[in-house]
Each structure stands twice: as structure tokens, then as C-alpha cells.
Structure 1
Amino acid sequence: MTSISRIPPVSQSSDIDFFAVVQSLWKQKFLIVAVTLAVGAAAGAYAFLTTPEYQVSTTLRPAALNDLDALNRSGVYSLPREQALTRVGAALDSYDVRLGYFRANPQLFAPLRMPGQTDEQAFEEFNRNSIKLVQPDPKKKVDLLSAYIGMELRYPKNVDGDEILNGFVKYAIESERQQVASDLSVIIKNRLNELDGKLDAARAGYEAGKESQIATLLEKDNLTRAQLQDELRALRVQLKARRADRIAQLDEAISIARSLGLKKPSTPSAMASEGESGGNVIRTEVNNQQIPLYFMGTDALEAERKALRQRTSDDFTDPRVAQIGKELMLLKNNRRIESLKQRENEDVFLQNIEPLRSEMARLKKLDIDVMRLNLVTIDQYALEPLKPVWPKKSLMILAGLAVGGMLGVLLAIIRYFVVLRMTKVAKGGEPLGNPQ
């Protein structure tokens, strides 16, 4: 029995081996061709038997400047074009938006459902493998002119991929429009509530100011009334004391007049002429001093004293009493307070609220048809493809033939070396010839 360790090594001559290998490959050309054709046939069978997949795509770009002008000029809601594109892109990539579109269009996705799959499972497979959002490279600086968002959809045969993708883009844009409309409505409502709050605060301030003004006027009137009444009482006491003093003066004057025997009014010169002799004497009295009261005579003085004692009121003796009465009468009705209380439309008296009212009127008349806003521009719609993107039959067949050829050559080389080793072992290390 021959030991394996005694088997002489195969010749290491590269030239001899190379020509021998080439010669062996030529002699095994039918094996190589057979393997090549077999693998190529298998690749062709796979290419023709596998379900073809198609691909559609669409591209979105920023909206035109005039499309969002009305919204941005409203002063309520600002939505730049690049932000609108980003928001639509976020909606296209949103799981919730995709699920909503999937559930809203079951007839479009019916061919994608495999037997035994639930709606959730079918959607998960569609969302994971079929639809893809394409965006510019974030590492590269992108200006507004080159900004875009793309959507790609891969789908099997018998599926309306272009209709699905175009419908989904419209659905996402519509969803974002509704969100913008909802945001705009909430913002306007909040702004109106804020303005209403400011108006209410202005009304409350006005009411407080009016009440304060009324209280001030009432306090002023009460103070004036009290002062006038005090003055009237003091004046009446003064007039009464003055009347008592007059009566006392009259009493004294009557006593003096009686002692002098004066009943009728007289003068000092008249009293002096009574003691002189007869004759015609004309006297002229120039006197700047006041004649004493008793010269009025007892009759006049008693008549005045009687009238003073019978007097019930001294008010008429001083015009200030009538003036005070007039002022007290005027204080009974404060027309300024009545005017303040009788105001019907008090909003017209509010101060510094014209800007609030004009802003409220503007917001209430603000008419922006958000549902017609073009948030983005659809630069390219999805079109039905003319041929599938997978499988590429010619490429797959060529790849199969190439792989088959390499596999055939590899098998032929292996067969050559196996036969060569077996021949050397059988003949004591001397080959009988090249394998056929």
C-alpha cells in the first residue's frame, strides 16, 4: 500500500501548468458551455417568471411667489414658500397621512394585499418597501431654486401605481391645506378673543372712570351744598342778631326822643330855632355828620320797632340769602351726572380703541380661500411607465451567462487537478495524460 506522504509533489512549473490547464479547459469546453447555458437558462427563467416591478416618481417644488401672497400679506399667518414645501414634505413622509390615504382608498391597494394579510400588515409592507421620499442631500447647500421633494413608488404588475402616487400627493397637499386652514382659523379666533378682551378691559376701565367721575361730582355737590347750608344758617343768625341790635337801638332812640318830646322827625337846627325870637330867619345847616336816630321821632321809631318785632324772616334783607337759595336749587339736579347715567351706547365714549375696532373689523372681513392655495408646485406628475424597472431581463441573462461561464471554468479547473492528482497517485507520480 502506497503512503500518502510518499506521493511526489505536483510540478510547480507555472509554464507547464498554464498550458496544461488551458489545454484541459479546451478539452472540457462542452462542460463549460453546458454549465454556462444552464446557469444562463436559470437566470432567464427567473427573469421571465418573477413578478415584474414598476416604478413611478413625482417631483414637488416651491410654489410661485403669488400663490402665497394673500396669506402672507394678511398679517395673521406667515408661510414662506420653502416652509410650505417642507410642511408638504413632512406630510408626505408622515405615517399617519400615509395610513389615512391607505384606508381612504382600499380599491387602489387591493392588489397589494396578500392572502391572509390584514389591512395593517398590508400597509406596513407598502410603507416600508414600496414608497420612498426623496430629498436633496442635506450636506449640500440648497437654495430656493434647486429645492425639491420627490416621491418614488415601486409596485408589482396590475397595480395603478401612477394613480396611487398622484392621489397620495394630492391627499397630502389637501391634508396640509386643511391644517393651514385650521391654524388660520384658530389664530384669527384667538386674535379676536384677544381684541375682545382688550375691549372688555377698556369698557371696565371706562365704567370705573365713569363711576369715579360720578362719585367725584356727587362729593363735590355734597360739599358745596353743606358749605352753602352752613353759610345760610350763619347768615340768618347774623341777620337775626342784626335785627335784635336794631330793635335795641330803636328802644334807646325812642327813650331819648320821648325825653326830648320828639314825636315827629326833626333836626338839630330845627330844635335850635324854636328857642329864638320871632322874625324871619333863614338857617342853612351844612353838616356831614349822621343825625342821631332819636331825631326820627317816637312815632317813626315805634313804627319801625313794631315792624321789626313782627318780622318772621330776615332773609329778604340780604341778597346773599337769595343767591344761596339759587345755588342750593341748582345742586338738587346735577345734569352732568344725569348725562353720564343716561348714556346708551357707551362704546362711543371709550378712548384709544379705534385701532382695536379697525383690527377686529379687518379680521372679521378677512377672506382667504385656503382650500385654493397652492402650497407647492407639482413639477412632474407620476406617469404610467412603459417597462418595468425589475427584473432587467437582458442584464439578468447576461449576468447568468457570465456567472455560468465562471462556474464552468472553475469546475473544469477543479476536475483537471482532481484527475491529475488521481493519475499521479495511480502511476507513482507520473501522469498518464491530460484528463478529457
Structure 2
Amino acid sequence: MQSSTSQSHSSAEIDIQALVRSVWKRKWVVIGVALVSTLLAAAYAFTAKPIYEAKLFLIPPTQNDIANFNYGRTRDYDLVPLTIKDIYTVFLRILDSESLHREFFNTVYLPSLTEEVRKGSRDALYSRFSKALTVTLPVRDAGDQSAVTVQTTNPELASNWVQLYADRAGVLTKEEIVKNVTTESRVRARNLLQQIKSLRETATQIRQDSITKLQEALRVAEAIGLEKPPIITGNPSVELAGSMDGQIIYMRGSKALKAEIQNLEQRQSDDPFVMNLRELQSKHDFFKNLDVSPSDVWVYRQDGDVNRPDAPIKPKKSLIITLGMILGLMAGVLIAVILYLTNDARIKRAI
């Protein structure tokens, strides 16, 4: 048993040695395959179109940037001011929205392609575009910085696209917020107008009620022949009964009652006599005419400038050539081993 085992080990050692010698004899095959693989890798590295990357970093706006959004939004007007977080959250949602991706794909990316390429599958083109333009949103507990990245064969196009994409997201964000603020202002104005109308109608009804009361008091005064209010003499003061209300309004006398009725009937407007009306009118006019200009606000800030990339990120020539050489050596050795095994099997069959 020991003799058999030792023979087996000896045979394995001889086989390995023979394999190494066989590979060494075919070293030119290995070198040739490695050389061809390296040349192919080099050809690809030097002929493949270079890919350039442009990246734009974005951060939240300042309080001053969004100040005009909050014009008129105070506690006195029952409107909660918008915060930086409110504005930036809307911007990030639009920045990473599918609708903006599709709009940019249709209006910017497709026109940059040749007519022949545009005839291809839209889904395939959109998939390629989605890989070329990516949006990185802020990570929780890692700051508020977001980024837009574009990878393309044209360095100038890459830098232009990241700026254009961020600008378009900013424009859409402004439009949405301005629309929301304007709508809220219009609703507030309508509510105030309804309150004004209600107060005016109430004032008109109160005036009519007053006229009715005075007319009844006039009939009583005329019935008792009271033309002027009586002067009540007392000790130690003298009072005039012209301030009497309630059931003794007739004590003012028919002459005063007629004058008051005439005055109420000829009154053109009850507005001066309505409490808080002028304040409501002022608020209504403010909200009705409130106009927020998108040019006066910013919904994000750029963290640095967008520079034209001057060095491609792909292909990495040295890495590709090195991998080509390594794979060629491995393939050459594998071919040499296969030739050895094939030759060895042929010899065994011949024996």
C-alpha cells in the first residue's frame, strides 16, 4: 500500500513537472496570445470614444433668496410663512421627477442625436439617457447637498446640460410655488370679500331696522304732540332727554325723529358705520393685487461653478491594456495546458 501511494505521488509530481515543461516549450504560444490580447485591448482603449463627466452641486437657498415668497405671509394675515425647507423640498422633488427627465429627454437629448440614431427604440434611447444624466439627492444626516451629473462624449455638452437641467428644475419649482402662493392669495381675497359683503348686508339691515323703530317712535310722538324733547330739570344738574333709547325713543320729539329718519333714508353708504370694514378692505385689496415675481426669488444655490471637463473618465487606457495583457497570459497558458493534455491523451491511446 505504501509503495503504491508513493508511486502515485511520484507520478503526480512527474505530471506537474511535465506540464510545466510543456507550457514552457509553448511559451511562444503564450506570449503570442498575450500579445494579441494586449494589442486588441490597446486598440479598443485608443479607439473608443472618451466619456467626459460634468457635475453640478446644489444646496438650499438662503432666507433672503425666498423672502419675496413670504411677502404678505404673516401671522396678522393668517398665512404661515414658507421656510427654506419647504422651498428646497419642492425643488428636490421636481429635480428628480420623471416628468422633468422626460421633458429634458424630448427637448434636449433627442435633438442632440443624429437622425439615424433617433430612429432607434425610444425605450433604449431613454435607458441610455437615464444612465448619462443622473440626480443624486441628499442623504439623511449627511447634509443638504444634491448633485446633477452628466456623462457624454462631448465635454462642452456635458457642462451645458448639467446647468440647463438644474436651471429648468429651478424654473419649474418657481412656477409651482408662485402658482400655489397666488392661488392661496386669491382664495384669501375671496374670503375677505365675502366677509365685507356680509358686513355691508348686515349694516343695511340694521339701518332698515333703525328706520322702522324711529318711524314707530315718530307716530307716538305725534300722537302725544311732543315736538321737541322735554328738558328735565333736577337738582343739582340739568339733562337733555335726547339720548333716550328703547321704549322711550319718542321722547326725542317728532322734529328730531323726522330729521333722523330722513338722514338714514338718504344715507348713500353704511361703510363708515361698519366696524372693522376698512381693515378688511385693506387686506382684500392687498391679497387681490399680490404679485410674486419669479425673477426676484431663488429656490437653490450652486455649490461651486460648472467647469468644462478636460480629462475623460472613460476609457481608462492603462487599466484596459493591463487587463488585456493579464487575460492574454491566462488564455495563452490555458491553451498550452489544453495542448499538453490533448497530446498526453493521444500518447496514452497509442500505448
Q: Same fold (TM over 0.5)?
A: yes
Which residue of structure 2 lines up, in the alignment, with residue 79 of structure 1?
82
Which residue of structure 2 lines up, in the alignment, with residue 154 of structure 1?
151
> How big is the shift at 1:186?
1.6
Quick one: distance in 2 between partners of 1:122 and 1:380? Answer: 33
Which residue of structure 1 lines up, in the alignment, with residue 19 of structure 2?
21
Aligned 1:175-324 pairs, distance under 5 A = 175-225=172-222, 227-228=223-224
Q: Matched residue of 2:113: which SS?
A: helix
Quick one: distance in 1 between partners of 2:121 and 2:200? Answer: 59
> How big is the shift at 1:33?
1.0
Aligned 1:396-411 pairs, distance under 5 A = 396-411=320-335
Amino acid at match of 1:39: S
Residue 113 of structure 2 corresponds to residue 111 of structure 1 = yes
Check whether the contact 1:132–1:153 (CA below 8 A) recurs between aligned residues. Answer: yes
Quick one: distance in 2 between partners of 1:31 and 1:358? Answer: 94
Which residue of structure 2 lines up, in the alignment, with residue 377 of structure 1?
301
Residue 99 of structure 2 corresponds to residue 96 of structure 1 = yes
Which residue of structure 1 lines up, in the alignment, with residue 55 of structure 2?
57
> How big is the shift at 1:376?
0.8
> How big is the shift at 1:45?
2.0
CA 1:332–1:352: 2 relative to 1, 3 Å: closer
Quick one: distance in 2 between partners of 1:185 and 1:136? Answer: 29
> How big is the shift at 1:360?
3.0
Q: Matched residue of 1:65: which SS?
A: coil
Quick one: distance in 1 between partners of 2:121 and 2:332? Answer: 47
CA 1:184–1:120: 2 relative to 1, 3 Å: farther
Residue 89 of structure 2 corresponds to residue 165 of structure 1 = no
Q: Which runs of 5+ in 2 are unaligned?
A: 1-6, 74-78, 227-250
Which residue of structure 1 lines up, in the alignment, with residue 241 of structure 2?
none
- Partner deviation per Cα, 1:219-268 (whole Å, 9 max, x = no partner): 3333554x538x9xxxxxxxxxxxxxxxxxxxxxxxxxxxxxxxxxxxxx
Aligned 1:389-400 pairs, distance under 5 A = 389-400=313-324
Quick one: distance in 1 between partners of 2:155 and 2:294? Answer: 37
> How big is the shift at 1:155?
1.5
Q: Matched residue of 2:138: which SS?
A: coil
Quick one: distance in 2 between partners of 1:59 and 1:114? Answer: 34
Which residue of structure 2 lines up, in the alignment, with residue 292 of structure 1?
none
Check whether the contact 1:180–1:370 (CA below 8 A) recurs between aligned residues. Answer: no
Identity value in percent: 23
Check whether the contact 1:111–1:158 (CA below 8 A) recurs between aligned residues. Answer: no
Check whether the contact 1:112–1:122 (CA below 8 A) recurs between aligned residues. Answer: no
Which residue of structure 2 lines up, in the alignment, with residue 33 of structure 1?
31
Which residue of structure 2 lines up, in the alignment, with residue 276 of structure 1?
none
> How big is the shift at 1:163?
0.9
> How big is the shift at 1:126?
5.3
> How big is the shift at 1:105?
4.7
Which residue of structure 2 lines up, in the alignment, with residue 136 of structure 1?
138
Which residue of structure 1 lines up, in the alignment, with residue 258 of structure 2?
334
Q: Matched residue of 2:303: which SS?
A: strand
1:347 to 271, 275, 278: 271
Quick one: distance in 1 between partners of 2:121 and 2:40? Answer: 35
- Partner deviation per Cα, 1:57-93 (whole Å, 9 max, x = no partner): 1110011232223433631463322332222222222
Quick one: distance in 2 between partners of 1:122 and 1:111? Answer: 13
Check whether the contact 2:182–2:291 (CA below 8 A) recurs between aligned residues. Answer: no
> What is the TM-score with the length of structure 2 in the denominator?
0.78
CA RMSD of aligned residues (A): 3.2
Quick one: distance in 2 between partners of 1:32 and 1:367? Answer: 78
- Partner deviation per Cα, 1:268-322 (whole Å, 9 max, x = no partner): xxxxxxxxxxxxxxxxxxxxxxxxxxxxxxxxxxxxxxxxxxxxxxxxxxxxxxx
Quick one: distance in 1 between partners of 2:339 and 2:172? Answer: 67
Check whether the contact 2:57–2:147 (CA below 8 A) recurs between aligned residues. Answer: yes
CA 1:421–1:121: 2 relative to 1, 3 Å: closer
CA 1:68–1:390: 2 relative to 1, 3 Å: same
> What is the TM-score with the length of structure 1 in the denominator?
0.64
Q: How many residues align structurally? A: 316
> How big is the shift at 1:122?
8.3
Quick one: distance in 2 between partners of 1:192 and 1:152? Answer: 44
> How big is the shift at 1:136?
3.1
Q: Which runs of 5+ in 1 are unaligned?
A: 1-9, 232-326, 428-436
> How big is the shift at 1:198?
0.8
Larger Rg: 1
Quick one: distance in 1 between partners of 2:72 and 2:26? Answer: 84
Which residue of structure 1 lines up, in the alignment, with residue 310 of structure 2?
386
> How big is the shift at 1:421?
2.0
Quick one: distance in 1 between partners of 2:259 and 2:58? Answer: 72
Check whether the contact 1:72–1:78 (CA below 8 A) recurs between aligned residues. Answer: yes
Moved more, 43-52 or 388-397: 43-52
